[in-house]
Structure 1
């Protein structure tokens, strides 16, 4: 069977083709943004990079299929060389990357978690795309430069191709930058009330409770609440239902606790109720609610949630001494995580980010400490010291 002769196309026109520049620009943006998501630490900018990367990837698929189909039809009869081979390998790697990206997007949008197998496939295929696509293009550029002046129109077209590719990439980066700069954080008030009673000294603002914060200062109560959101994403629905009827959830709302707290405040002053707050009402304790001249010693968030999901999962270290002897941190939250009141779009973006970019969520909320008896002992072990009854006992 006679092989059909290869007719070389106008290479200047091929380099200047809009579809080639668009596909190359999107591919470069997807590569750079993907590496940023993989390698850079958790931040607001990287979170918006995840969203723009996902949208650009979906936009990329159809133009890429159209371009590659035409490219194959034009060059399929060309002799097999290292340039053609790297082109085929680049096509295969990009196909795997696109398929894995579609699967991950679907899982992040409509499932409860992404598959780490597909995630690894996406990362590995990205690295393969870099290796093969870069080799393919660099080989073409070097070949044309070795040809000298006879390739001047082609070299000019390649420069246009490069500038167009960079322009599309910069456009994507500009969208990320604009979104990041325009995003308004939920302003947290990590301050004690002006009349906050520091009866036990400035270095012990939560005493007589042994609980403290990483900063040693107050935390906005909103940063420790929001347990209902743990079930809206579909990830922890069963756990949330169990928490809703648990002793932890009712630790502050419980009528017996409220009665004991009221009696304690009446007899020993409002500051003495902080002794109970570390275990029963941490949201109110760390937001400075348990203070003198306060009619209600339990904040609304603290009353509704008691021991919230965050109140446990934000604990960094404990001591088996008991009496709420633990240190709690204020976790860095995802974009839109505390803005559920802005509607369904904000909730969707929050859940999508947590599922598609889960490392920060896992690392900040899951620790070996939580599976140890020492963790529970911080609250489920009690003693009364002299600061409470002027006698003390263990």
Structure 2
């Protein structure tokens, strides 16, 4: 019995020693976690390297702490549950539960990242960390106060005995953390890839001091950008999957491999040299422009197989823009590469994983640099969706071309005090073309929505060209949202009878009387085309290429054609007398610049668009034949296609465009009775005509 008693005392002593060792590690890691966590929280923002380093140490220490916590809490509760100190036990249980929550939430944050839709997880982790420190202090204080009076003197001595060990553990832990930090610093530097190819030797400055002219693009000191700092959109998709999948189908992604663009940029290179393609590529492929490829010996983005051709307007092409330099367009932006996180561009899978997790854990710098406030403005879009040509390109003079920004700036969507203003707030380009939609993405907001990266507009041709039926249907739906509407005004019947007697307003009833047209007479039908929902002119974009027109038809009661305007000819072109919304650009000799070779453009011979908030009034006059039967069915359809037929055929000589779909934007139809002119009416008509 004595032996068993001595053995149980010995076992108990060993258990206490093991628990004390665990307490040492528990205390040391707790201090490291507290320092790294609270320094990053209280003194944010820190230097990017220090902030990421502390987060990395915090994550590693948290993983070790979770293991130590499991063993320590089990042994500690097994030893102390028999003590009759309910307050300490309650506080201890609370402390264990809070620490357990911190462990679980910490692991979730490490692997999911700090997501906007679950931002409460990060907030609760931070605030419960403060609660944990407070509970530890209270737990230790009550532990001391609950001892009998005779044993309180023993506790300080035991604490003094334990403190060197605990302090030693803390010192060792901090030393290990410091060594780890140095190793991370060294590893980060030795794993940085060598500078990739930046620019072509003997770069030609044909358009002035700026290497990017004639585009207006700028960088810091007008230096070229490393390819890895602007290309590599597929890496972004690893985290931003929903946005990336949408971008892959978008017109931005296909800005450089669009067959129409390839045809034109090759024409420009052949006519003016590779340096001249900088004018186009500042917006169609910033990768080619900013990396210094657009000079003799380099390749423009129209060349298949190049990174620039694949990316078009890639992720960093937009998200690397920190400021807009002017409202002139032609790439009037300032590009700045984002800051590197630890192990950026490393070829090691492990280090690349750590890099991705650090971006997820500390996304503030990432969001600050890649989502500046300017990206929420229409001027940001206008940096490329506005255009001019000057003497350096056309050898003539300054000519203004498409300008979606100016059209928006003078519209009702930007004039809150305009009496026509019908919206509760100003609308930017992004409000229509990047609407919020549901998406599983790191950038999703608290409602699980992201800004659409389809950039839906009017380019149904590209969606069909690259076989994306989902985007095609989205684009058709977008075009048919009644932003532009068409109305046929009921015709005026000049031969209708009127009562000459006076009737007071309270005796009159509001009533639309039937209107009729008469065989053998000349009639006029008015069609109103209103641009009430588009934030710029309709049509917009390259209106020398795309075209909208009114298809106007009248059939009699037997289905016989009475009158038509806006029909397509056998060669696919619109018949000459149709009402067409487009532009005809001309060169210095007055000839049409129909191949979109805008470097030859010096003016316009024709332009017809409907400004935002305006209505176009179109009159159709026709003779009603005697053989027509009643009623007349009158219909008008506003149609749109991306490419006019002449240009479409020219592009098809070299690059096959799979489709050039025609979309019905809006339509209206009415039926009008058709009557024979009575003799008395004929006399009245002659009198009215004479007057």
CA offsets, 1:161-218, max 9 Å, x none?
211222123213422331222122234458544412233443x221111111134211
Give the CA deviation at 1:247.
Answer: 1.9
Aligned to 1:118: 121
2:186 to 181, 185, 191: 181
1:290 to 288, 294, 314: 294
Once residues 88 and 289 of structure 1 are traced to their aligned partners in structure 2, the CA distance between those partners, rounded to angstroms, is: 65
Aligned to 1:322: 329
Structure 2 residue 270 is matched with structure 1 residue 260: no
Once residues 35 and 17 of structure 1 are traced to their aligned partners in structure 2, the CA distance between those partners, rounded to angstroms, is: 26
Q: 1:151 to 1:265 in 2, by over 3 A?
A: closer
2:227 to 203, 214, 221: 221
Indicate the structure with greater strand content.
2
Structure 1 unaligned spans of 5+: 1-8
Q: Is the 8 A contact 2:19 2:75 kept in 1?
A: no
Give the CA deviation at 1:295.
Answer: 4.9
Give the CA deviation at 1:304.
Answer: 1.4
Q: Is the 8 A contact 1:114 1:356 kept in 2?
A: no
Give the CA deviation at 1:306.
Answer: 0.9
Q: Which runs of structure 1 show a deviation greater than 6 angstroms over 4 or more consecutive aligned residues?
A: 13-16, 83-86, 111-114, 138-143, 147-150
CA offsets, 1:285-335, max 9 Å, x none?
11110112x152348221110100110011112232111111111111334
Give the CA deviation at 1:90.
Answer: 4.3
Aligned to 1:371: 376
CA offsets, 1:41-75, max 9 Å, x none?
36345435434432332332232133234334444
> What TM-score, normalized by structure 2, do the two folds share?
0.48
Q: Show the 5 A alignment for 1:229-378.
A: 229-233=235-239, 236-292=240-296, 294-298=297-301, 300-318=306-324, 319-339=326-346, 342-343=348-349, 345-378=350-383
Once residues 188 and 44 of structure 1 are traced to their aligned partners in structure 2, the CA distance between those partners, rounded to angstroms, is: 20
Aligned to 1:57: 62
Q: 1:47 to 1:53 in 2, by over 3 A?
A: same
Q: 1:153 to 1:238 in 2, by over 3 A?
A: closer
> What secondary structure does 2:323 align onto?
strand
Structure 2 residue 392 is matched with structure 1 residue 383: no
Q: Is the 8 A contact 1:209 1:278 kept in 2?
A: yes
Structure 2 residue 23 is matched with structure 1 residue 20: yes
Q: Is the 8 A contact 1:222 1:301 kept in 2?
A: no
> What secondary structure does 1:17 align onto?
helix
2:170 to 162, 165, 173: 165
Give the CA deviation at 1:383.
Answer: 0.9
Q: 1:149 to 1:106 in 2, by over 3 A?
A: closer
Once residues 150 and 253 of structure 1 are traced to their aligned partners in structure 2, the CA distance between those partners, rounded to angstroms, is: 77
Give the CA deviation at 1:380.
Answer: 0.9
Give the CA deviation at 1:278.
Answer: 0.7
Once residues 79 and 138 of structure 2 are traced to their aligned partners in structure 1, the CA distance between those partners, rounded to angstroms, is: 20
Aligned to 2:130: 127
Structure 2 unaligned spans of 5+: 1-11, 401-691
Aligned to 1:4: none
> What secondary structure does 2:261 align onto?
helix
Give the CA deviation at 1:346.
Answer: 4.6
Q: 1:295 to 1:323 in 2, by over 3 A?
A: closer
Aligned to 2:100: 95
> What secondary structure does 1:327 align onto?
strand
Q: Is the 8 A contact 1:219 1:286 kept in 2?
A: yes
Indicate the structure with greater helix content.
1
Structure 2 residue 230 is matched with structure 1 residue 208: no
Aligned to 2:582: none
Once residues 349 and 114 of structure 1 are traced to their aligned partners in structure 2, the CA distance between those partners, rounded to angstroms, is: 23
Q: 1:29 to 1:60 in 2, by over 3 A?
A: same
Once residues 72 and 149 of structure 1 are traced to their aligned partners in structure 2, the CA distance between those partners, rounded to angstroms, is: 22
Q: 1:134 to 1:213 in 2, by over 3 A?
A: farther
Q: Is the 8 A contact 1:45 1:177 kept in 2?
A: no
Q: Is the 8 A contact 2:198 2:227 kept in 1?
A: no
Q: 1:313 to 1:43 in 2, by over 3 A?
A: same
Q: 1:37 to 1:256 in 2, by over 3 A?
A: same
Once residues 295 and 197 of structure 1 are traced to their aligned partners in structure 2, the CA distance between those partners, rounded to angstroms, is: 11
Give the CA deviation at 1:113.
Answer: 7.1
